[in-house]
Amino acid sequence: MKKKIEKILKTNALFNKLYTLIGSFIVKFIGFFVNKDPKTILFVSYMGKNFNDSPKMIYDSLIADPYFNEYTFIWAFNEPEKYNLSDKNTKKVKMDSYEYLLTALKAEYWITNVNIERGLHFKKKYTKSINTWHGIPLKKVGNDVKGRNDFDFSNTNLFCYSSDYEYDIYRKAFNLTNENLYKLGMPRNDIIIENKSEVKKIIKQKYNIQDKKIILFAPTWRDNPKDLDLMDLKKWEESLSDEYVLLLKSHGLNEEFDIEENSFVIDVSNFEETSELIVAADLLVTDYSSIMFDFALTNKPIFIYIPDYETYMKERGLYFDLTKTNLSIFKDSNKLLEYILNFDEDKENNVSKKFGQKYNEIETPTATEEIVSLIKEQKI
């Protein structure tokens, strides 16, 4: 039912407007009877689906800092029972519940990578909102998506971005200004930039990967998962299994892959911290996902597999033409396979590096630290 409602909100402008007006009024009315709860921070990652990404990076830093010993941290989850949070100052609430709304109304800080208000507008003046977002945009986002004009993040106090390329996109797509846009990079990418060898070791141990290279296949989300054209996994196994393993990572908004796993092909969709998979992988295969920008921070090969390029461009829209970049582009999985068997690693590493330098102007692992400092200094 929840997914059906969300789909209607995305596709029916009138219903969306009524939901926003009526819902915002009701929550604001409730807010008249709710007082500020100082030193309370509400965290939401991917609309309550996960305990990961930039919000968790910030959370981990906060609970490790004695300055925040008197703070209360509250995570909102769709399934709170799935998560065992050991920190004594941390609590859980059910996403979209009455308790969630009360928490949002009283919290001093919101930290999220999507949104807290769930399409409504009820943020109080005393609440400081930090939105790390969840990827440099390639596909159209926010108000740039056909049929959408309801995105308004103008009351956000801090919105992260990584390069000048994003600046004008976010201003238009999310109704942001120079006052709330901070060029800090994304906290989740601190892990990638640090590139610690123990991260790769942990991933290899978890999935029992011995002396083989890792191909990470991570496509973007689809309204209809059946639109994803998966490669011939049996053929890939026959050709690559002596040298590689293939990790399949579905987008957080889609379900796991419907595949038969073995020692070559492993579904890692349930592994929440994609940044750690990026550190562990030796090369990336993706389509329209923003993971390509994150992966470029490693200077490792990026291969773009887009058999539905013309259709996707027409229906969803992209901010630039992927086929006009220097990245290796494939519309046929067999040609991609042949290329992987014989590619020039130095050449591909150089292409990845140049691509990354254009879209990742922050190349130091400081985003988390800077946000925590801004909170401590009460500058947001």
Please tell me the predicted confidence (pLDDT) of residue 250: 87
Q: Coil, strand, or helix at residue 286?
A: strand
Q: Is 155 contained in some domain?
A: yes
Give the pLDDT mean for 135-155.
Answer: 93
pLDDT per residue as tens digits for the range 91-119: 999 999 999 999 999 999 999 999 999 99
- DSSP assignment of 143-172 equals GGSTT------TT-SEEEE-SHHHHHHHHH
Tens-digit pLDDT profile for residues 6-50: 666 666 777 788 899 999 999 999 999 999 999 999 999 999 999
Helix 13-31 vs helix 2-11: crossing angle, to nearest 10: 120
**Domain of residue 282, residue span:** 197-359
Q: Are residues 85 and 231 in the same domain?
A: no
10 Å CB burial of residue 36 (0-12, 13-18, 19+) is middle
Q: Would you state the pLDDT for residue 148?
A: 87
pLDDT for position 315:
86
79 in the same domain as 130: yes
| Domain-located, residue 34 | yes
**pLDDT at residue 253, as a whole number:** 53
Instruction: Tell me what pLDDT residue 216 has.
Output: 98
| Predicted local distance difference test score (pLDDT) of residue 230 | 84
Taking 70 as the threshold, does the pLDDT of residue 226 lie above it? no
Predicted pLDDT of residue 13 = 74
Average of pLDDT values for 131-136? 97
Instruction: Give the pLDDT confidence score for residue 15 in this predicted structure.
Output: 79
Do 299 and 313 fall within a single domain? yes
For the chain, give the percent of residues with pLDDT over 90: 86
CATH code for the domain in which residue 38 is found: 3.40.50.11820
Do the domain assignments include residue 191? no
Q: Are 57 and 86 members of one domain?
A: yes
What confidence score (pLDDT) does residue 179 get? Answer: 96
With respect to residue 32, please indicate whether it lies within any of the assigned structural domains: yes
CATH number at residue 288: 3.40.50.12580
In this structure, the answer to whether residues 25 and 172 fall within a common structural domain is yes
Q: Write down the pLDDT at residue 2.
A: 61
Q: Choose among 367, 188, 195: nearest CA to 279.
A: 195
Q: Are residues 147 and 255 in the same domain?
A: no
Q: pLDDT-based confidence at 4, cuts 50/70/90? A: low
Residue 308 lies in a domain: yes
- 202 lies in the same domain as 223: yes
9 and 80 share a domain?
yes
Q: What is the pLDDT of residue 8?
A: 60
Amino acid identity of residue 370, one-letter, is E
Q: How much is the pLDDT for 36?
A: 96
Please indicate, yes or no, if residue 192 is contained in any of the structural domains.
no
Q: Which residue has the tokens 């596909």?
A: 139
Q: Tens digit of pLDDT for each residue in 155-173?
A: 999 999 999 999 999 999 9
Mean of per-residue pLDDT scores for the chain: 93
Q: Examine the domain organization and report whether 326 and 221 are in the same domain.
A: yes
pLDDT given for residue 1 in this prediction? 59
Are 156 and 211 found together in one domain?
A: no
A 10 A CB-CB count for 238 gives 12
Q: Does pTM top 0.75 for this prediction?
A: yes
Residue pair 283/215 in contact (Cβ under 8 Å)? The answer is yes
Q: Which pLDDT belongs to residue 123?
A: 97
pLDDT in tens, 231-277: 899 999 999 999 999 999 986 555 566 788 999 999 999 999 999 99
* Helix spans in the chain (H): 2-11, 13-31, 53-63, 98-106, 164-174, 189-194, 197-206, 233-240, 274-280, 291-295, 309-315, 333-342, 345-359, 367-376
Judgement on whether residues 253 and 369 belong to the same structural domain of the protein: no
Assess if residue 31 is contained within a domain.
yes
Number of domains observed in the structure of the chain = 2
Question: What are 355-365's pLDDT values in tens digits?
Answer: 999 999 999 99
CB 91 within 8 A of CB 74: yes
- Which residue bears the tokens 């947001």? 380
Specify the higher pLDDT residue, 313 or 184. Answer: 184
Planar angle of CA 129, 130, 135, nearest 5 degrees: 135
Please say if the pLDDT value at position 329 is more than 70: yes
Q: Do 15 and 84 belong together in one domain? A: yes
Pair of tokens at residue 148 = 């959408």
